[in-house]
Every structure is written in C-alpha cells, then in structure tokens.
Amino acid sequence: MVRSLALPLTLALVTSLPLAAQPDTQVPQSQAEISLGFAPLVKEAAPAVVNIYAKIIRQDRARSPFADDPFFDDFFRQFAQPRPRVQNSLGSGVILSDDGIVVSNYHVVGEASDIRVVTNDRREYQAEVILADQASDLAILQLKDAEGLPSLGLRDSDEVEVGELTLAIGNPFGVGQTVSSGIISGLARTGTGGGQGFGYYIQTDAPINPGNSGGALIDVNGDLIGINTRILSRSGGSNGIGFAIPANLVREFVRQAREGEGEFQRPWAGMTGQPVDSDLAEALGLGQVDGMLISELHPQSPFVEAGFEVGDVVLEVDGEPVNSPSEMAFRLSVAELGGTSAVTRVHQGETETVEVALMEAPNSPAADPITLNEQTPMPGLVVGQVNPEVITKMQLPLSTEGVVVMDPGPYAGRGGVRAGDLLLAINGEEIAAPEDVANLLMNSGRWMRLDLMRQGQRVSLRFRL
C-alpha cells in the first residue's frame, strides 16, 4: 500500500518547487522540476528539526515476595522499597527561533532530568524544559548557549485543508533524521489515542513511527503546521494514520514560555457537553447536525456570567466550528487569558453570538490545603477544599464539592487512600472543611473508619492506629 502512493506523490512534488519561491501552486514546467521532488524544500526545513535524547529517572518499587499471593498481595504491595530506574527517551523537536526555542512532546521530555539535543549538522546542546503540559502533550525547551540557529515559521493551522501535500521530518526508531511524505487526510480529530480531553489533531498519512514524536509536519512552503505526536496502530509501526498537534496551539505555548509562565494557562470554560448527533438535532429542532450541546455548567463559569444555559448549543468560537468538548477546549486554549471570545450559540431556537470573558478557574472558595503533621495518625496526608481550580487540576467531575485528598502521603497511601478521593466522614463524623480531618483523626482512638467517594462509588476503609 505504501508503494502504491509513492508514484503519484512523487509526481505531485513538482508543486513544491515554485511554492518555495511564491505562494501559488504551479504546474511543473520541465522534467528537471519533476525529478527534483521535495529536495529543495527538505534542504530548507530539515536543519530546523533536531534529535532529542532524554534521560528520565523513575522510582520503581521492588517486587514484593507476596506479589502472586491472592490474600497477602494487597497488604504488602506498598511496603517494597522504591529504587531508581533510568529510562532513556528518544524523540524529535523543532527549532522555532534562532536563540534556541525548541518544541517537542511532553511524553519525550516532560519528566526528563537530562536532555541532549543534536542538530542536523551534529552540533550538541544541553536543554531545559521551560514550559510543559501533559494534557496537551507539548513541551518548550531552551537550548543553552544557542544562537544563529535555523528555524521554522508557524502557519495558521486553521487554514490547513484536507488533501494538502505534507512532509513529516523526525528521527524514527533512532536511525537518524528521516523525511516521509503524504497528505493531510483529516482535520479536527479529537479523542484519538487516549489523552485527557484536550486531544485535537491534524491527521496525516505521511508515515510516522516511534522516534518521530515531537518532529515537524510541514507544508509545501516549508511552514510548520503541526507537531507529530501519535499514531493509530496495533503493531507499533505506521499504518498511515498519524496525528499532529496544530501549530496554533504551539504558537500559544511559545508565547507563554517567553512570558515566563511556569504552567500552561488555558481559559476555563466550567462546562461539560456532548456532540450534537442526528437524534439530538431532531429533538432540538436544529436544521443541521452541528455543534456541542451544553449538558452541565458550573455556577462560577464565565459562560453563566454571559447568559449561557444548560441546553444551549455552541456552534462556533471566534468563527471556528465547535462540534465536541475537545474542540471547545482547543479553541479556548489558543485564545489569550484576559480577553474575550465571540461564541456563537443556539439559545431557545435563536442563533446569536455572545462575548465570553476568558478567565482562569477561580480559587474560590480558597482551597486552603492542609498537610497533616507527625502528631497525627496519617502524617503527610494533604487535603483541601474543592473549588474550580482544584476541579481543573485534579480532573474531578464538574459538580464535585467537599474536601478532597490532594496527596495521600506514605501512611494513608498504604491503607488504600488515593489522590482525588473525596473525604466524607471519619468514624461517622462528617467532614465539612480541611481542618476537620486533623481534628477527627486525633480523636479517632485505636480504630478508625474512613468513608470516602471514589469515582462515584462510596468506599469505606478501616485502619488500626
């Protein structure tokens, strides 16, 4: 199947020659133009794509001697001593400025303790992560003592169209820099390959393999349209379905990194929704199957302030279509905090556009996290009050209220308590605020029953203190 694509792609390469000099696509004028293929384009773009070698130190626990015992395994699972394990990660990156700003994937460098970047001409640089976000799978690096480096420009990824020719440049399987060609085969792919709800990808059939992660997906003008991040494959190799993070999100990451942000700041919607299918469209009396139905709104959501209600259908954000929660998250992520976005909705049968303020998830009421000390039966346990900021950071359901475990610490963790658990009661006494946890633990006696809510299920744990 790969061979069957090679000939037509090679013949189409001709369009890249005039495009390197002028924006309009032209028919090849000579046999020489046909034979050159993508060579001029690759010579321009490849020097800005780098190989990345990252070292990640993970704390693994030694295997318990009771690991295969159906009874004792639960009791002894947490008691094995952690030991460090060095994991080497191989990937790619793209230079975006001559002073050494490089973009790659979070899963390549996000947790690395040592990062080495090798350019196309074999120069080596040490690098540090200056901004990373696991949900978006993006990381921005700064190369040390770098200057005068080749770089790629960012294209407006909203202008990309299905059928455009594209090149994927990276370091697949560690064999060295490799270029593969294909077309844009899909746009607005969401929820593909897992992730945490922020997945929104450009799809290409240009072969992408392990090691291509963080590499460049470019158009025939040599502009960056996406960062290669995932493939859809059962074998682990390319099946012609690869995904790239759009350049518009990369642009916002670079802006925030240059402004010194320690974490990626994305506007908070405070809503949940679902795609409008044919049944929903008929029930809502919509003329077409488009948009995202708002199914839940947090009382502090800026959309509530703007007059949105459950049952409204969001059609567009800043003129771009929205058909799923992932698309909504992406559209807000590429907008700047502190401004507004024009959101088109269907409200009570009428289509209208409303300005919505772009704000962070509020820390109100204050989370007031408390870390239990050595005087309590569970030292190291961190608990806090749930609010929109906590809901966002811990990925809790939008309607969550109460006191949440932010970190179980060593002792509560051994007893089965997990981060994200909602604490309901201790020995039957309800927990209303973080400070209640320490007070109730100190007066719990020799035995304690902890009632909590985990993923919608009520759980009771018993401890001997």
Q: Could you list the active site residues?
A: 107, 137, 213
- Which H helix or E strand runs over 188? strand 178-190
Exposed, middle or buried: residue 150 (CB in 10 Å: 0-12, 13-18, 19+)?
A: middle
Q: Do 226 and 208 touch, CB atoms closer than 8 A?
A: no
The first and second tokens of residue 272, run together, are: 């949940």
- Helix, strand, coil distribution of the chain in percent, nearest 5: 20, 35, 45
The first and second tokens of residue 368, run together, are: 């007031």
Nearest to 356 by CA among 404, 396, 322, 402: 322
Distance CA 235, CA 207 (A): 14
Q: Do 117 and 125 touch, CB atoms closer than 8 A?
A: yes
Number of H helices, E strands in the chain: 13, 25
Q: In DSSP terms, which residues pair with 169 in a beta bridge?
A: 179, 216
Kindly give, in sequence order, each residue whose CB lies less than 8 Å from that of residue 154, ignoring residues fewer than 6 positions away.
Answer: 96, 223, 224, 247, 248, 250, 251
Distance CA 269, CA 297 (A): 9
| DSSP states along 428-457 | TEE--SHHHHHHHHHT--SEEEEEEEETTE
The first and second tokens of residue 61, run together, are: 């626990």
Distance CA 204, CA 162 (A): 9
Q: Do 145 and 125 touch, CB atoms closer than 8 A?
A: yes
CA 126 to chain centre: 25
The first and second tokens of residue 117, run together, are: 């970047």
What 8-state DSSP symbol labels residue 362? P
Exposed, middle or buried: residue 318 (CB in 10 Å: 0-12, 13-18, 19+)?
A: middle
The first and second tokens of residue 317, run together, are: 């954000």
Indicate the residue type of 160.
V
CB atoms within 10 A of CB 30: 10
Distance CA 242, CA 186 (A): 10
* β-pair type (82-95, 49-61): antiparallel
For the chain, the distance separating the N- and C-terminal CA atoms, rounded to the nearest angstrom, is 65
